[in-house]
Amino acid sequence: MATGVIDYGRKWQIMATVGISIFLTLLDTYIVNVALPTLTRVFETDFATVQWVVLAYLLTLTTLMLTFGRLGDMLGKKPVYLVGLLIFTTGSVLCGLAPTVGWLIVFRVVQALGGAILFALGMAIITEAFPSHERGKAMGAAGAIIALGVVAGPVFGGILIEALSWQWIFFINVPIGVVGLITAVQFIPAIQPKGNQ
């Protein structure tokens, strides 16, 4: 896609591409909840400590979304979005490899840094990808993706822990993140930020 040009003919490819990252961000908000008893046992710690695996992600995600949205306005949404997807995917690998609960909490913060970028810029990219008269439809589709991530998190979490191990609630993000990265490079337009943004 040419720099600075919005191709409305690719709006649904952009929706699918960004939808992957929005889905992952919400999936990871809820997938860990069902793993808390397992993590308590595996890391031989108390439940109050393990809860920080969820809280660290949520606090980082919610507090930094506006900041990263502004960063995307200043530097360009596509490059910041790609960095966010790379951080999120790397954070997922690190979470799965965490040797202690302390490191898992730290790596969840890393993962949430990427997630905050993806969620903030994902919604902005979707808005720009659709002409004004179709943005309501686009936001409805994004809302459905958000709902799917919320519902799928506990379901996938339970299945992965039961069938494989707790590490897979994080490793599952890696192939999806790689696909998201490839499609983002291909479909998301590289629009230069305007001086007055």
Q: Tens digits of per-residue pLDDT, 142-188?
A: 788 888 778 888 888 888 888 888 999 899 889 988 988 888 888 88
Quick one: 175 exposed, middle or buried, by C-beta within 10 A (0-12, 13-18, 19+)?
Answer: exposed
The 10s digit of each residue's pLDDT in 66-83 is 888 788 778 888 888 899
- Compute the half-sphere exposure of residue 23: CA atoms within 13 Å on the CB side of its CA: 17
* Residue 153, pLDDT score: 80
**Domains along the chain with CATH numbers:** 17-187 (1.20.1250.20)
Question: What's the whole-model pTM score?
Answer: 0.84
SS3 call for 114: helix
Quick one: 112 exposed, middle or buried, by C-beta within 10 A (0-12, 13-18, 19+)?
Answer: buried
Q: By percentage, how much of the chain surpasses pLDDT 90?
A: 28
- Whether 50 shows a pLDDT value over 80: the answer reads yes
Residue 20 makes CB contacts below 8 A (sequence gap 6+) with 176, 179, 180, 183
Tokens (6 digits) for 76: 């360009």
* Residue 193, pLDDT score: 62
Quick one: 105 exposed, middle or buried, by C-beta within 10 A (0-12, 13-18, 19+)?
Answer: buried
Place of tokens 């919320």: 150
pLDDT bin (cut points 50, 70, 90) of residue 119 is confident
What angle do helix axes 101-129 and 135-163 make, rounded to 10 degrees?
Answer: 150
Interior CA angle at 172 toward 19 and 178, to 5°? 55
